[in-house]
Structure 1
Amino acid sequence: MEKWILLGTILIRKILFCGSVKANGVILADIVNQLDTTNSLVAWAFSLQNGIALLISPLVMFLLNYFSERQLCMVGGLLGGLGYIYCGLMMTSVYQLFIGLSVSGFGFGLAILPSFVSLQYHFQPTELPLIISAIGTFDYIGVAILPPVLQLFRSDYGLKNSLILLGALAFNVATCGAAARRPRNVKQTNNKQTNAVRQPDQEEPASNRDTKGIRKLFSNLRSLFQHKNIGILLIAEFVAFYVFASWAIFLVSLGKTQGLTDEESVFLSTAGGLGGFIGKCSAAVLFKFKLVNPFTATLIPCFTTAAVFVVATMSTDFHILLALIFISGLTQGINSSCVFSLMPGSVCPYHYRQILILECLSCGLGTQFSGYVSGTIQDVTGSTIYVYLFNAMLNILLVLLSIWWACDPEPNLECDKSSL
């Protein structure tokens, strides 16, 4: 029962974390007007929140040498909520928005990654791929649920109070963090093994051991790229998260640009979230039947996404836009899930941990750049339409990249470190 409680709490954390980037788009225009600032700065603050959560993954792995998964998850949940509450109570300038959302993003980063680490103590290695795939489907559940909730808060209580209420919701991440603990028998076994291994090196300072561990983790990155297609997959992941963050933050703005009401624009987010959920489930089916390849993972989804974005910029009908955004969520869900899942299986065991951290860094950088660049495009052009046209162009570039990938799709699991 303990492992299923842990799994359920991770799903709640993913809903709140991934839903926040979409929900932020609901209040984008309000914050720009209230703070008398630009779309680029506010969107940058929104993307920074989610980018930091991924970019601090090396730091989180380092902190796990000193603190338990449970401790980091609970502290992270508190910080995730406090960041929003700070914005609701203190926000009078865009710099305070950056501070509050950075604290919130740092907290989410502390809460999410350790919870995945704790999974390995509750599930067998053969079960983990399926479990992680199931968790991934809940990313878009948050995208579907949280924007309407924030819109309700905004309509009834105003901007600042809605941020405070969103922070109160985020506090649930801290409560869920209590479940992120190892089984007692595993903890005792690990302690015995640890003592047996470290006894000879007790005289060595802990700081030296930590430095060696970090140096080992990031050393020999050159040999990592001896594995085929790793560079292509990292680029594809960077672009996928850039497009996702831009799509999420500016979707409500696109609806308003196309003449929809506030309520109709928020429903676009719900449609996109449901489409993404189905896309993630579809990716799991593709993996089940071994149908994942450069065409199903990137070429077809990215070409469809690009076409949908272009058509969406020319449509003003609510029902047509609803269908288009649903399709774009579905195709992005397939693309991101397939690329993310392919990466660990494309390297040898020696580089497994390194590629996981590089994945998080790539996703974080893509998210980080997305808000600022997309906001700048809107400020310069005066229209969200050009944001989506630029995203369509990026998807076409991924189509070209997938053709290059298709020329030699099979990964090479051998490198200089494979025998270590």
Structure 2
Amino acid sequence: MASQRRPVHHQDEDPWGWVVVGATFVAFFITYGNLKALGILLLAMQNDFSSDVWIIGWMSVLYNSISLFSGPFVASIDRLVSSRRSVVIVGGVMGSAGFIIGSQSTTVLQLALSIAILSGLGKSLSFFPFFGTLASYFSENYSVAIAIASSSLPISMIVYGPLTQMLLDTYGWRGTMMILGGITSHILVCAALLKAPAVASPTDTEQYQKVPDDAAEGDDISTEGDNIPTSKSHQGKCLTIKGNIQRLLTSMDFKLLANKRFIYLTAAMSCVHFCFSGWVVYMVSHGVFQGLSSHQASLLPTSFGIGYFLGKFLSPLFDRTRFKLPTISWVCFGCFLMFASFLTEAFMTLFPVQMIITGLIGVGQGIVTQSNDVLVRFLTSVDRLVALVCWQASIGGISAMGSGLLSGLIYEWTGSFQVALIMYSGIMLISVPLFIIYGKTTKREQNQC
């Protein structure tokens, strides 16, 4: 009996794509909520282990950093494994297990291994594959789809701050960690909803992609005929150990690292990652050291989350009006806003003012990340998107790891985070010319085509 032919998939028309958007929303909500929760638990864990603030704070940053700079290996797994659903399921199990095991740790080393290594790798496996699935469903509506999906990041900031503080007051940090592990297991449900389109989107056998108007004035990049393996391209082949290693390295798509536009965009976003990672971990601690109560400080992530949420949707909303701006203009505006806000936040002590400035930092972060999501989507073909996102995140993760260490050490040396915030403002200024160079390089390359 002949098998029934599946319907042809057309981007932006398949309703299941919005189900994938919802699954991505929940998965992102959990993974980034866990990062914020670790920031809330920082002082409680530091007191329990009688350790320095910077050591526990760096462990929290390592959770995020390891999940980022393990990205290229996840990109390789994404290409070589036939089911993204399976990859996300494994990541959800690892992430959940890391928090549960960490709740029973008796030393800082045990806690670091369970949170930074096990949960960090789990976060990576359960995060990056969603980008490829989303891109296979959306093209013209991608900016809206990714804005909705990634808006869960600021919402998680809003929810996880007070929620974690309430759980901490009720169950202590160990009980809170166990509950976080249970919440993380819900990523398995998100994985179950992942389904690839019946017919794949354009692959890297095509030379160029058609780009919508809102993607930084036409951000497309030649694939140069790269022969990158996928799970289907190796079915039925018996590979030696050497062949498997070569296949793994090829699937990591190192050629992306030689592209000028990728280099400029990634360098600029590494500056943003540096500032964000240090700020998101020490945000609550900075509020406490500036004279706020623990409950007042726990509301700062809420203000940041509201601003972040608004920033994510500013560009997609304005794109549908006559006030539409190029993506590069948006990203530079977001960087300038974060520069001014970080500099002001360093000297603010009043609770209402700190809430407002923290919200403005969130707006800037939302604008920058949303603009970057659109720029990255149209740098290359859909089947190379996960690799591109993973490489950018990997380099950003190294930057983020340095941020957590340096910010913690600055606190140990100075007794506050004021110097760190001044440093963040300066680094945000550095990112602006990098984004501008990226935009000019894009125009120059397109004029040559």
- Scaled by the length of structure 2, what TM-score is found? 0.80
Query: Does residue 1:296 correspond to 2:330, yes or no?
Result: yes
Taking a change above 3 Å as real, the CA distance of residues 400 and 182 of structure 1, as seen in their structure-2 partners, is: closer
Taking a change above 3 Å as real, the CA distance of residues 306 and 221 of structure 1, as seen in their structure-2 partners, is: closer
Taking a change above 3 Å as real, the CA distance of residues 120 and 236 of structure 1, as seen in their structure-2 partners, is: closer
Output one character per residue of 1:51-96: Cα deviation in whole Å (capped at 9) or x when no partner: 2222222222332323521222122111111111111112x22211
In the comparison of the two structures, how many residue pairs are matched?
Answer: 403
**Match of residue 191 from structure 1:** none
> Is the 1:77–1:107 Cα contact (8 Å) retained in structure 2?
yes
Taking a change above 3 Å as real, the CA distance of residues 135 and 413 of structure 1, as seen in their structure-2 partners, is: farther
Taking a change above 3 Å as real, the CA distance of residues 207 and 297 of structure 1, as seen in their structure-2 partners, is: same
Structure-to-structure mapping, 1:397-416, within 5 angstroms: 397-402=430-435, 410=443, 412=445
**Match of residue 319 from structure 1:** 352
Offset, 1:13: 0.8
Taking a change above 3 Å as real, the CA distance of residues 153 and 286 of structure 1, as seen in their structure-2 partners, is: same
**Match of residue 167 from structure 1:** 181
Query: Does residue 1:240 correspond to 2:272, yes or no?
Result: yes
Offset, 1:128: 3.8
**Match of residue 160 from structure 2:** 146
Query: Does residue 1:76 correspond to 2:91, yes or no?
Result: yes
**Match of residue 279 from structure 1:** 311
Structure-to-structure mapping, 1:322-341, within 5 angstroms: 322-341=355-374
**Match of residue 429 from structure 2:** 396
Query: Does residue 1:106 correspond to 2:121, yes or no?
Result: yes
Taking a change above 3 Å as real, the CA distance of residues 196 and 394 of structure 1, as seen in their structure-2 partners, is: closer
Offset, 1:349: 8.3
Q: CA RMSD in A?
A: 3.1
Taking a change above 3 Å as real, the CA distance of residues 151 and 223 of structure 1, as seen in their structure-2 partners, is: closer
> Is the 2:256–2:262 Cα contact (8 Å) retained in structure 1?
no
- 1:106 aligned counterpart, secondary structure: helix
Query: Does residue 1:115 correspond to 2:130, yes or no?
Result: yes
**Match of residue 218 from structure 2:** none
Give, in whole Å, the separation in 1 of the partners of 2:330 and 2:186: 37
Give, in whole Å, the separation in 1 of the partners of 2:309 and 2:76: 32
Offset, 1:259: 0.9
Offset, 1:293: 4.7
- Work out the percentage of aligned pairs sharing the same amino acid: 23
Give, in whole Å, the separation in 1 of the partners of 2:327 and 2:194: 35
**Match of residue 144 from structure 2:** 130
Query: Does residue 1:95 correspond to 2:109, yes or no?
Result: yes
Taking a change above 3 Å as real, the CA distance of residues 237 and 314 of structure 1, as seen in their structure-2 partners, is: same
Give, in whole Å, the separation in 2 of the partners of 1:76 and 1:149: 24
**Match of residue 53 from structure 1:** 67
> Is the 1:21–1:245 Cα contact (8 Å) retained in structure 2?
no
> Is the 2:72–2:387 Cα contact (8 Å) retained in structure 1?
no
Query: Does residue 1:224 correspond to 2:259, yes or no?
Result: yes
- Scaled by the length of structure 1, what TM-score is found? 0.85
> Is the 1:69–1:117 Cα contact (8 Å) retained in structure 2?
no
**Match of residue 402 from structure 2:** 369
> Is the 2:328–2:436 Cα contact (8 Å) retained in structure 1?
yes
Taking a change above 3 Å as real, the CA distance of residues 7 and 195 of structure 1, as seen in their structure-2 partners, is: closer
Partner AA of 2:270 in structure 1: F
Taking a change above 3 Å as real, the CA distance of residues 352 and 14 of structure 1, as seen in their structure-2 partners, is: closer
Offset, 1:124: 4.8
Give, in whole Å, the separation in 1 of the partners of 2:48 and 2:238: 58
Give, in whole Å, the separation in 1 of the partners of 2:36 and 2:419: 19
Offset, 1:286: 4.8
Taking a change above 3 Å as real, the CA distance of residues 56 and 131 of structure 1, as seen in their structure-2 partners, is: same
Output one character per residue of 1:278-330: Cα deviation in whole Å (capped at 9) or x when no partner: 001113235556513544312x3222222222222222211111111111100
**Match of residue 385 from structure 1:** 418
- 1:366 aligned counterpart, secondary structure: helix
> Is the 1:77–1:175 Cα contact (8 Å) retained in structure 2?
no
Give, in whole Å, the separation in 2 of the partners of 1:350 and 1:21: 29
Taking a change above 3 Å as real, the CA distance of residues 387 and 267 of structure 1, as seen in their structure-2 partners, is: same
Offset, 1:153: 0.4
Partner AA of 1:246 in structure 2: G
Query: Does residue 1:208 correspond to 2:243, yes or no?
Result: yes
Offset, 1:408: 5.6
**Match of residue 263 from structure 1:** 295
Taking a change above 3 Å as real, the CA distance of residues 214 and 127 of structure 1, as seen in their structure-2 partners, is: farther
2:390 to 357, 377, 392: 357
Taking a change above 3 Å as real, the CA distance of residues 294 and 195 of structure 1, as seen in their structure-2 partners, is: closer
Give, in whole Å, the separation in 2 of the partners of 1:62 and 1:255: 41
Taking a change above 3 Å as real, the CA distance of residues 28 and 139 of structure 1, as seen in their structure-2 partners, is: same
> Is the 1:293–1:409 Cα contact (8 Å) retained in structure 2?
no
Taking a change above 3 Å as real, the CA distance of residues 15 and 204 of structure 1, as seen in their structure-2 partners, is: closer
Partner AA of 2:243 in structure 1: N
- 2:195 aligned counterpart, secondary structure: coil
Per mean C-alpha deviation after superposition, the further-off stretch among 79-88 and 349-358 is 349-358
Partner AA of 1:174 in structure 2: L
> Is the 1:39–1:376 Cα contact (8 Å) retained in structure 2?
no
Offset, 1:18: 1.4
**Match of residue 214 from structure 2:** none
Output one character per residue of 1:260-285: Cα deviation in whole Å (capped at 9) or x when no partner: 11111111110001100100111323
